[in-house]
Structure 1
Amino acid sequence: MLLREALHRPRLRLTLLTGAEALERPVSRVYVTDLPDPRRYLSGGEIVLTGLVWRRDASDSETFVAACAEASVTAIGAGDAVFGSVPDDLVDACRRHRMPLFEVPIEVSFRDIVDEVNPSLWAQRATGLATVLGRHRGLVAAMAAGARLVDLLPAAAAELGVDCWVLTPTGRQVAGTTALAATDRATLAHAFLGAGRLPAHATVEGRRVVVSGVPGRPEHRLASWLLACAAPGRDPFPSQEGGLADAAAELTSLVALERSQVDEALRIERRLADQLGAALTGTEQVDLRGRLLSCGLPPDGTFLVLAANLTGLRTPPELAVTICAELVEPATERVAVTDAGLPDTILAVLAVTPAQAPYAVEAIRTGVAAYAPGLGGGRLAVGVSGPAAGPGALGGAVEEARHALRTAVARGERTSVVGADELASHLLLLAGVPADTRRAFQRRLLAPLLAYDRTHNANLLRTLDSFLACGGSWTRCAALLHLHVNTLRYRIGRIEQLTGRDLSRFEDRVDFFLALRLPR
């Protein structure tokens, strides 16, 4: 039912005060309240009837209307019993929030409105349910006959009167009524992963978009697809969200069918990939060419190897495999992803041309960064090898990717990607040192400075870092820290006294530099 239909009841004598331009908004139900903030009881699309008992002064109207607007209410109906008419401040607040407001005469009870509107709502819902079931049967039959989501979704969305898009958590578009720009896809993915609960909301192309999830295998938000729905055109009114939620619920079943087919295909591919992983890590002695061919990879091609590690999340092991499969999807169509062979490490073998390799690494970096809002306390570290020509070079590429992964883990960041081009530095040395040894080395050098800074707020650690970054130049470091050179000399002297080191010695400078680069 639309708001126009609900208000057009001659027996009720309702008078529209604001919002004549929004009469096409859908109505989900009629809700009566005198709470000053009824948001917790609203789900969107309601006609909210209120006797204004909550109003003490003009500011209360702004509070009430703002709460209703945030909850995507379709309209507010105000009774005349308390004040004799609708206060001007309530009318002004509704205009500011573009909220339709109508006046309920004193002789008309809220029960009269409920009894008048509800039967029509029930009748329309019954008719709509039959339509939904018929449409759903048709879509299921079409998919069983071989139709794909990319073909069916635009037609289904048009019939429901919405625009919609299906994206992965990294923002890769699976299907949609239009092609979304990269920035809009990133906005929707960030809203999906970062939301405390779903459905979430985002603004794309000036429109309010409802974002919900379509679970996959395993059932985790990081492995789910997102479904984003918006009113067609550029309608800015958020009260369309009641209808959008219904459309999203219906479209979710269609998207879930496609997702289940994709998951089943990946499950079969991963069985073959596991055999390749076992061969690459030496747990099976077999012909690599045959394993590559079984995974659809060219046996004499050029490859990149990705090694990944997902920690800090209580998740099923296959989640990390699903995430890695998504990371490499934009980089190449020919890939094998497995968790077989190495403990707590996912391997992916990508077939690329030498010219594609740098772009593939950048695509992986972009995907890893996109996952950050959904990791919470978890960490995602990735190492990528350089190009490997032919199956004979794959063993070395695996080792190179593992070295890069250890470097990424050592950084201690929520997300980190290290490529082969970064391995010719001190980071590779640090990654190869056991974690306990690294921590002991860092503690021995920096613990006295950390303790002194905590007690005296002296910023000795920052001073040391800046001094090394300036190559030991007193004047440049003093200017950088906005200190007098004599003050800087005093601080460096204190550092040497506390640590027993001499910063004029190259060896001691190197030790401090490495200790500062380790995660604390």
Structure 2
Amino acid sequence: MTVQAEAAAASPHDGSVSLRELLAEPSLHVDTLTPIDDLDRPIRYVYPTELADPSPYLAGEELILSVGVPVADQGAETIRRYVTTLTDRGVAALLIGLGDMFDEPPQALVRACHDRDLPLLIQRAAVPFRRIVDWAESRRAADREVDARERELGALLRWFVAGTLGAGPVESALTRYGLAGAPVVVCAFAAEAHTKVHDLVDRHSGAVAILDDRIVALCPQTAEFTADLAASELPCGVAIGADAQSMAYAIPEALEALREAIRRRRTVHIDEIATLDGLLAAVPKVRLVPFVHRLLVPLVDHDKVNNSYLVASLEAFLAPDNDISTAANRLYVHVNTLRNRLAKIAELTGANPLDETDRINFRIALWAAHNMGMREGRAPAPQKVAPHNSFGSPAGM
């Protein structure tokens, strides 16, 4: 084979296949002789060549097909140099077709591939290399078709969310994928998880869309899918779309939940962050420290000197469903005593616990103190917060 013909036989493409897929295809009769740490290692080119140094024609992630000419009747050092050339160029694997040059590959080749972590594959059956090239190209062609459909669906969803497209095309797309007429689980994933997303979603007849730099999957809301998603290690943002029209908010919600899912390294449902706690958990700590400094530190300092229970009183008053009478009862104090404490809090901080806006600010400060930590009588440092939390259960006089 000429160099020009060899270069033409290399198959550049937009996608890739993997070593796992190659070894799993029974018609190709490919086996492995060396351990493979990463079966998902991609093959982006299939390159039949008998050149002793094909490096000028290598771009990385090639599957080299050879009958063994470069290593036949060669010493261990020459074979080692050949393998080093392939690994230095980022070759994915070397496949030797047996029967032409030898019935078994030289042990020096096996050792060199093992030492350099280059997967060494063999093909004992008389299968033409062209069949491997054609198989890889057909897989890539199918992948390109799937990719085009996913980008088309992603564009449709993006236009709909942006308000430049009506719900009709979205309804048609859901019908095409068998997802119309029932609630849909909208899942957002990072782009690099594309293959694993398909492993999860395809089992449940879902649809995958490429939406800018994220992947959005639409799946039927079933117990089986819910269980599979819960068992998955993929960070995923989740929202529920009741129908086509609701996708306008379900998709942005899933994408927003993904941000928190990546931070927490697990699945996060939008309901988890559609709360004050969820919102504050996503806020950088440095933005919350001033609330503690301004609204709680003066109270802690006052309590320490005067045993006045201002922090406990504030917590009781701001507890859900508590009014001033209920809070006073839980503190075992007269309601006027609690009123006086709230007035003292307003005096020390300049914020009135009876004012709705200030109440929210106090809740933020208390959340930050509980979740960031605060030593007895000391404000958290701007960059590093002490692990001990001084805000305990309410106390009375």
TM-score when normalising by structure 2: 0.43
